[in-house]
Amino acid sequence: MTEIAKRTFSISPDDLKKYTFKKEPLTAAEIAQKINEIAGRDGAERLRVRSITEFVYRSGLVEDRVLEDGRIVKYPSEAGESLGISGIERTGKNGTYYTMVYDAAAQQLILDHMDAIVEINSVPRHNSKLNKGQPWTHRDDIALRELFYKRVPVRDLAVVFQRTAAAIRARLVRLGLAKAEDFQRPRGGTVSAE
Protein backbone atom coordinates (compact mmCIF):
# COMPACT_ATOMS: atom_id res chain seq x y z
CA MET A 1 0.00 0.00 0.00
CA THR A 2 1.49 3.32 -1.05
CA GLU A 3 1.23 6.27 1.25
CA ILE A 4 0.60 9.66 -0.34
CA ALA A 5 2.64 12.38 1.31
CA LYS A 6 0.91 15.67 2.06
CA ARG A 7 2.41 18.79 0.58
CA THR A 8 3.93 21.07 3.16
CA PHE A 9 1.97 24.13 4.19
CA SER A 10 2.50 27.24 2.10
CA ILE A 11 0.74 30.53 1.54
CA SER A 12 1.51 33.25 -0.97
CA PRO A 13 2.12 36.90 -0.06
CA ASP A 14 -0.97 37.77 -2.12
CA ASP A 15 -3.08 35.35 -0.09
CA LEU A 16 -1.72 36.82 3.16
CA LYS A 17 -3.08 40.20 2.04
CA LYS A 18 -6.58 38.66 2.34
CA TYR A 19 -6.13 38.33 6.13
CA THR A 20 -8.62 40.61 7.90
CA PHE A 21 -7.92 42.03 11.33
CA LYS A 22 -10.52 42.17 14.08
CA LYS A 23 -10.71 44.74 16.87
CA GLU A 24 -10.43 42.15 19.64
CA PRO A 25 -7.19 40.21 20.17
CA LEU A 26 -7.08 36.61 18.90
CA THR A 27 -5.44 33.46 20.22
CA ALA A 28 -2.78 31.67 18.14
CA ALA A 29 -5.39 28.99 17.38
CA GLU A 30 -7.77 31.58 15.96
CA ILE A 31 -4.98 33.15 13.89
CA ALA A 32 -3.91 29.74 12.51
CA GLN A 33 -7.52 28.93 11.66
CA LYS A 34 -7.91 32.19 9.71
CA ILE A 35 -4.66 31.59 7.82
CA ASN A 36 -5.63 27.98 7.03
CA GLU A 37 -9.00 29.14 5.69
CA ILE A 38 -7.23 31.62 3.38
CA ALA A 39 -4.64 29.05 2.23
CA GLY A 40 -7.27 26.39 1.50
CA ARG A 41 -6.84 22.67 2.07
CA ASP A 42 -6.39 20.95 -1.33
CA GLY A 43 -4.36 18.08 0.15
CA ALA A 44 -1.74 20.28 1.79
CA GLU A 45 -0.68 20.20 5.41
CA ARG A 46 -2.28 22.83 7.64
CA LEU A 47 -0.47 25.53 9.58
CA ARG A 48 -0.16 24.20 13.15
CA VAL A 49 -0.84 26.47 16.10
CA ARG A 50 2.39 25.19 17.64
CA SER A 51 4.35 26.75 14.76
CA ILE A 52 3.09 30.21 15.68
CA THR A 53 3.69 29.77 19.41
CA GLU A 54 7.13 28.27 18.77
CA PHE A 55 8.05 31.27 16.60
CA VAL A 56 7.11 33.83 19.26
CA TYR A 57 8.90 31.72 21.89
CA ARG A 58 12.12 31.47 19.84
CA SER A 59 11.89 35.20 19.12
CA GLY A 60 11.95 36.01 22.84
CA LEU A 61 8.46 37.48 22.76
CA VAL A 62 7.18 34.78 25.08
CA GLU A 63 8.87 33.09 28.03
CA ASP A 64 8.15 30.26 30.45
CA ARG A 65 6.92 31.21 33.89
CA VAL A 66 6.52 28.84 36.80
CA LEU A 67 3.33 29.48 38.75
CA GLU A 68 3.13 29.04 42.51
CA ASP A 69 1.40 25.69 42.04
CA GLY A 70 4.36 24.46 39.94
CA ARG A 71 2.62 24.66 36.57
CA ILE A 72 4.59 26.18 33.72
CA VAL A 73 2.85 28.62 31.40
CA LYS A 74 3.95 30.63 28.41
CA TYR A 75 3.80 34.31 29.27
CA PRO A 76 4.52 37.39 27.13
CA SER A 77 7.96 38.89 27.75
CA GLU A 78 8.35 42.64 28.10
CA ALA A 79 9.21 42.80 24.39
CA GLY A 80 6.15 40.67 23.55
CA GLU A 81 3.85 42.92 25.55
CA SER A 82 5.23 45.99 23.80
CA LEU A 83 4.41 44.36 20.43
CA GLY A 84 0.81 43.52 21.36
CA ILE A 85 0.91 40.08 22.97
CA SER A 86 -0.94 39.80 26.25
CA GLY A 87 -1.93 37.06 28.65
CA ILE A 88 -5.48 36.56 29.83
CA GLU A 89 -7.42 34.12 31.96
CA ARG A 90 -10.37 32.39 30.36
CA THR A 91 -12.91 29.93 31.67
CA GLY A 92 -13.63 26.77 29.74
CA LYS A 93 -15.42 23.51 30.36
CA ASN A 94 -12.48 22.30 32.50
CA GLY A 95 -12.20 25.49 34.56
CA THR A 96 -9.99 28.55 34.39
CA TYR A 97 -6.92 28.53 32.17
CA TYR A 98 -4.29 30.99 30.99
CA THR A 99 -3.79 31.84 27.33
CA MET A 100 -2.06 34.45 25.20
CA VAL A 101 -3.82 36.74 22.76
CA TYR A 102 -2.45 38.82 19.92
CA ASP A 103 -3.75 42.28 19.02
CA ALA A 104 -3.74 43.56 15.42
CA ALA A 105 -0.09 44.70 15.62
CA ALA A 106 1.01 41.28 16.94
CA GLN A 107 -1.05 39.55 14.23
CA GLN A 108 0.73 41.69 11.62
CA LEU A 109 4.07 40.65 13.14
CA ILE A 110 3.06 37.01 12.65
CA LEU A 111 2.09 37.65 9.03
CA ASP A 112 5.35 39.54 8.43
CA HIS A 113 7.32 36.50 9.64
CA MET A 114 5.26 33.84 7.91
CA ASP A 115 8.35 32.43 6.12
CA ALA A 116 9.98 31.60 9.47
CA ILE A 117 6.71 30.17 10.82
CA VAL A 118 6.26 28.01 7.70
CA GLU A 119 9.81 26.71 8.18
CA ILE A 120 9.00 25.73 11.78
CA ASN A 121 5.77 24.14 10.51
CA SER A 122 7.75 21.99 8.05
CA VAL A 123 9.66 20.22 10.85
CA PRO A 124 7.98 16.88 11.54
CA ARG A 125 6.22 16.79 14.90
CA HIS A 126 8.34 13.90 16.16
CA ASN A 127 11.42 16.17 15.84
CA SER A 128 9.89 18.95 17.93
CA LYS A 129 12.27 18.49 20.88
CA LEU A 130 14.75 21.16 19.76
CA ASN A 131 17.45 20.27 22.29
CA LYS A 132 17.25 16.51 21.72
CA GLY A 133 20.80 15.18 21.59
CA GLN A 134 22.35 18.55 22.52
CA PRO A 135 24.75 18.76 25.48
CA TRP A 136 23.42 20.16 28.74
CA THR A 137 24.89 23.50 29.79
CA HIS A 138 25.80 24.53 33.32
CA ARG A 139 22.97 27.05 33.14
CA ASP A 140 20.52 24.25 32.14
CA ASP A 141 21.65 22.20 35.15
CA ILE A 142 21.10 25.12 37.53
CA ALA A 143 17.62 25.77 36.12
CA LEU A 144 16.78 22.04 36.22
CA ARG A 145 17.80 21.82 39.88
CA GLU A 146 15.76 24.88 40.78
CA LEU A 147 12.62 23.62 39.05
CA PHE A 148 13.09 20.08 40.38
CA TYR A 149 13.28 21.42 43.95
CA LYS A 150 10.02 23.29 43.26
CA ARG A 151 8.52 19.86 42.42
CA VAL A 152 7.77 20.71 38.79
CA PRO A 153 6.65 17.46 37.08
CA VAL A 154 9.02 15.77 34.62
CA ARG A 155 6.56 16.25 31.74
CA ASP A 156 6.62 20.04 32.35
CA LEU A 157 10.43 20.03 32.65
CA ALA A 158 10.53 18.32 29.24
CA VAL A 159 8.55 21.22 27.77
CA VAL A 160 10.72 23.88 29.39
CA PHE A 161 14.01 22.30 28.31
CA GLN A 162 12.62 21.08 24.97
CA ARG A 163 13.86 17.56 25.61
CA THR A 164 12.20 14.22 26.06
CA ALA A 165 10.95 13.12 29.48
CA ALA A 166 13.52 10.29 29.33
CA ALA A 167 16.32 12.85 28.87
CA ILE A 168 15.06 14.83 31.87
CA ARG A 169 14.94 11.69 34.04
CA ALA A 170 18.45 10.69 32.93
CA ARG A 171 19.83 14.15 33.74
CA LEU A 172 18.18 14.17 37.17
CA VAL A 173 19.88 10.83 37.90
CA ARG A 174 23.24 12.04 36.57
CA LEU A 175 23.03 15.16 38.78
CA GLY A 176 22.26 12.99 41.80
CA LEU A 177 18.83 14.54 42.27
CA ALA A 178 17.02 11.23 41.78
CA LYS A 179 17.73 7.53 41.48
CA ALA A 180 16.84 5.50 38.43
CA GLU A 181 14.51 3.38 40.56
CA ASP A 182 12.55 6.54 41.44
CA PHE A 183 11.20 6.38 37.90
CA GLN A 184 10.47 2.65 37.72
CA ARG A 185 6.87 1.79 37.00
CA PRO A 186 5.38 -0.58 39.57
CA ARG A 187 3.42 -3.42 37.96
CA GLY A 188 0.08 -2.08 36.83
CA GLY A 189 0.89 1.38 38.20
CA THR A 190 2.24 4.69 37.08
CA VAL A 191 5.46 6.56 37.68
CA SER A 192 5.06 8.45 40.93
CA ALA A 193 7.90 10.94 40.39
CA GLU A 194 6.06 12.43 37.44
Q: Is 116 helix (H, G, I), strand (E, B) or coil?
A: helix
Domain ranges of the chain: 19-127, 129-194
Please list the residues that pair with 42 across neighbouring strands: none
Q: CA angle at residue 85 from 80 to 146, to 5 degrees?
A: 55
8 alpha-carbon distance from chain centroid: 20
Q: What digits encode the pLDDT tens for the residues 78-118? A: 999 999 999 988 887 777 778 899 999 999 999 999 999 99
Q: Please name which of 179, 130, 175, 172 lies closest in space to residue 154, comparing C-alpha atoms.
A: 172
Q: What digits encode the pLDDT tens for the residues 34-57? A: 999 999 866 678 899 989 998 998
Q: Please name which of 174, 192, 167 lies closest in space to residue 182, comparing C-alpha atoms.
A: 192
